[in-house]
Structure 1
Amino acid sequence: MALTTHLGTIGLWSAGLRTDDPTRLGEIADAAAELDELGYSALWIGGNPSMAQAAHVLAATDRVAVGTSILSIWQHEAADVAAQYAALAPGLRERFVLGLGVSHTALAEQYARPYSAMQAYLTALDDAPVPLPAGQRVLAALGPKMVRLAAERAAGAIPYLVTAEHTAKARELLGPDAFLAPEVKVVLDTDPSRARRTAREFLAIYLPLPNYTNNLLRLGFTEEDFEDGGSDRLVDALFALGDDTAVRARVNEFLAAGADHLAVQVVLPHGRQQARTLARPEWRELAQALPL
């Protein structure tokens, strides 16, 4: 089954679904089961999740697809990933999507020749005793070369921290058939100043990373847009700010630009936004607002 059919239109992105803390496994399983019942078609586990963490979410759910967004090729050996994929029960394996990325120089000491490294990683997945199929893997592709590779050697692309304009450009590069599922950040706050402040607090961890800023420069933003936490123009392009109506409008903008599926991430005010946060009230609100 093609990912465009299997993954539906709206997924939920959360780093909070990732943990190695055994005391939190029950909490995460309960949240994942509720998200499955709410009707999200995919759960994207953020923050370089392991296969074991993905397997836990798979086991806690019955219907929803589960993807890694993203698993760093520098920190997880391809042979190990393929072996852990092979060890999944067949029913769980069918619902799994491997999202791969090259991460960033600041986060991976061995970072070098990322395009070639990704090619080699995909070849290792192909050559494993139980190959992890191209149709079940997607790339966190930003630049043109990686986007094309996503169409050639994977099911498609899952770009992070992008605009609707990037989605339109990626669709042109991917062609009509490859899967395209950008991540979309949402701040559910109808006070514009406060919503932008929340967005800027969150954006601060990404603006020092050249892979993201170089991509934004290609889209027409300038160095000035990265100053002081990000210009209004930048923040408004990268985040859906406001109420349910504003979120639906942004979702429709990405879909009109060529996205097949959206991985929606709820961004919370600084006091609540932590890597382990499960934004369950906001996830329920979005489930009522979006076409699940």
Structure 2
Amino acid sequence: MQLGRVGIWNHELARTDPSEQALFGEAVAELDELGYGTIWIGGSPGVDRAAKVLADTRQITVATGILNIWWHEPADVAAQTAALAAEHPGRFVLGLGASHKKLVNDYRKPLSYMREYLDGLDAAGQPAAERVLAALGPKMLELSRDRAAGAHPYLVTPEHTARARATLGDAVLAPELKVVLDTDPETARATAREHLAIYFQLANYLNSLRTLGFTDEDFAEGGSDRLVDSTVAWGDENVVADRLRQHFDAGADHVCLQVLGASLPREQWRRLAPLTSVQ
């Protein structure tokens, strides 16, 4: 699994409006040229969306971040990933996640359903070495270690990365990091709070943050400064580089940057590209 050191996470790339595809194609091709290791397509994309991004790039890895396991049959996903592997060898990573009770009809125990889903992928021949799981808690992290190549945690801190590494052993650890390139504390935190608002309505993220020492007071009124500053790297490129190093020092193999404040933040991606060499 060739993720590189630093990647880009963007949910707009999951959109399929035909009028946007030329612009998206130019954007992902530039990410490839800028030297990022992986493009993570957010917004619960299907494998078909990754196929389009792969076709528009030459060498960068493309990952689903994440495919919602409630919306896709494992046999179909296995067949689609096999086709991508044949056409773009070594360039696709299947990121899988169990989504949220609030967003899925007939939701049941996510860990149990993920195990069933992985059974289906295994039966259809989809290689465990080509998939990662969206994992926050210890049991899903253990499943990521035992039934996949590793984990892709979202909305986490370097402390979580250290805990995840302890559970994962040598498995891949690829956390997401939110970024606001703005040195003004008031406007930077406002951008971060606007983005974080939806996650304060989702129990699994709140539970995960609680294990890191945050409380209901931190979730009130858009999020405390402490929570915002811990989960979002706001400031200039040096601030982002420092947070990257914290995740790497804590055990991350790869960190994907989600730039907040713009739907397709190409200028910011260019500014951050030198950070692909951060150690």
Superposed, 1:29-68 pairs within 5 Å as: 29-68=25-64
Q: How does 1:99-248 map to 2 (within 5 A)?
A: 99-128=95-124, 131-175=125-169, 177-248=170-241
Distance 2:193 2:89 in 1: 38
Letter aligned with residue 187 of structure 1: V
TM-score, structure 1 as length reference? 0.93
Number of residue pairs aligned between Structure 1 and Structure 2: 278
Distance 1:94 1:8 in 2: 13
Computed over aligned residues only, the root mean square deviation of the Cα atoms, in angstroms, reads: 1.1
Q: Distance in 1 between matches of 2:36 and 2:77?
A: 25
Gaps of 5+ in 2: none
Q: Deviations over 1:243-282 (max 9, x none)?
A: 01101000001100110000110001xxxx4xxx211111
CA contact (8 A) 1:74 1:110 kept: no
Deviation at 1:27, TM superposition (A): 1.4
Residue in structure 1 matched with residue 271 of structure 2 by the alignment: 285
CA contact (8 A) 2:36 2:276 kept: no
- Residue identity over aligned pairs, in percent, reads 56
AA aligned opposite 1:14: N
The answer to whether the 8 Å contact 1:181/1:263 transfers is yes
Q: CA contact under 8 A between 1:151 and 1:174: conserved in structure 2? A: yes
User: Take 2:79 and 2:145, find their aligned partners in 1: how far apart are those partners?
Assistant: 24
Q: Does residue 75 of structure 2 align to residue 79 of structure 1?
A: yes
Rounded Cα–Cα distance in structure 2 between residues aligned with 1:188 and 1:7: 24
1:18 aligns with one of 6, 10, 14? 14
Q: Report the alpha carbon displacement of residue 88 of structure 1 after superposing the two structures with TM.
A: 2.5
Instruction: Give the Cα separation in 1 of the matches to 2:148 and 2:83.
Output: 21
Aligned residues of 2:192 and 2:232 also touching (Cα < 8 A):
yes
Q: CA deviation at 1:109?
A: 1.1
Give the match's secondary structure for 1:185. Answer: strand
1:251 has 2:251 as partner: no
How far has the Cα of 1:72 moved from its partner?
0.6
The one-letter code matched in structure 2 to 1:214 is N
How far is the alpha carbon of 1:86 from its aligned partner? 2.1
Q: Which runs of 5+ in 1 are unaligned?
A: none
Counterpart amino acid of 2:33?
Answer: E
**Segments of 4+ moved more than 6 angstroms:** none
SS at match of 2:207: helix
Q: Cα offset for 1:46? A: 0.3
